[in-house]
């Protein structure tokens, strides 16, 4: 590209062989100008890459969220009783693990109970305090559609009758 001035007016010519700026009889190399022009596609690529990265990072929580009916059979309810082994108090879900002994098979199955996130539970007034490892709990809830040992609890009640968790109608 050549930029020329003739009697005060500025003219821009496309030229494949010349890359000089001619102004008032002085010839200057315009490699700086070429560099500036070549940076535009790189900058656009950088912005596009940043945009895609932002979509991925911001989209992860949206992809992680699902309805109860997507993973659990909301047309059936099951009741399990077992020993609370541990609680993973976190996001996007709080998980409670209950070891259930099957009388007929004589084996123990670890059930994962999927509660709302820690933030939602805290806003509802729940805390970690009632969920102590080793207590006996009875859980009524929806079983996993895939037949795995997962449940979406509606009620978690301790052996002494305390309600540790009850799903409200707003969840």
Question: Minimum mean pLDDT among 26-30, 101-105, 109-113, 149-153: which range?
Answer: 26-30
105 C-beta neighbours (distance < 10 Å), count: 8
Q: Where in the chain is the domain with CATH 2.40.50.140?
A: 68-166
- Fold annotation for 68-166: OB fold (Dihydrolipoamide Acetyltransferase, E2P) (2.40.50)
Is the bond preceding residue 92 a cis peptide, omega within 30 degrees?
yes
127 C-beta neighbours (distance < 10 Å), count: 10
Q: Over the Cα atoms of the chain, what is R_g?
A: 33
Question: Minimum mean pLDDT among 28-37, 44-53, 80-89, 135-144: which range?
Answer: 28-37
In the predicted structure, residue 87 carries a pLDDT above the cut 50:
yes
In the predicted structure, residue 155 carries a pLDDT above the cut 60:
yes
d(CA 138, CA 79): 7
pLDDT, tens only, 54-77: 766 665 555 455 678 889 999 999
Predicted TM-score (pTM) of this structure:
0.59
Give just the sign of the alpha carbon dihedral 95, 96, 99, 104.
negative
Is residue 80 within 8 Å of residue 138, measured between CB atoms? Answer: yes
Q: What is the length of the chain? A: 171
């Amino acid at each position: 590209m050549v930029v020329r001035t003739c009697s005060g007016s500025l003219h821009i010519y496309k030229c494949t062989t010349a890359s000089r700026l001619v102004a008032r009889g002085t010839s200057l190399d315009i490699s700086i100008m070429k560099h500036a022009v070549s940076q535009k596609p790189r900058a656009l690529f950088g912005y596009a890459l940043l945009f895609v990265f932002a979509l991925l990072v911001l989209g992860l929580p949206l992809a992680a969220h699902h309805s109860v009916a997507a993973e659990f059979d909301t047309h059936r309810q099951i009741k399990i009783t077992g020993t609370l082994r541990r609680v993973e108090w976190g996001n996007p879900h709080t998980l409670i693990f209950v070891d259930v002994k099957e009388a007929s098979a004589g084996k123990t199955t670890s059930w994962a109970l999927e509660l709302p996130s820690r933030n939602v539970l805290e806003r509802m007034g729940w805390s970690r305090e009632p969920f102590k490892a080793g207590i006996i709990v009875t859980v009524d809830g929806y079983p996993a559609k895939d037949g795995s040992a997962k449940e979406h609890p509606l009620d978690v009640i301790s052996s002494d009758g305390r309600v540790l968790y009850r799903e409200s109608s707003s969840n």
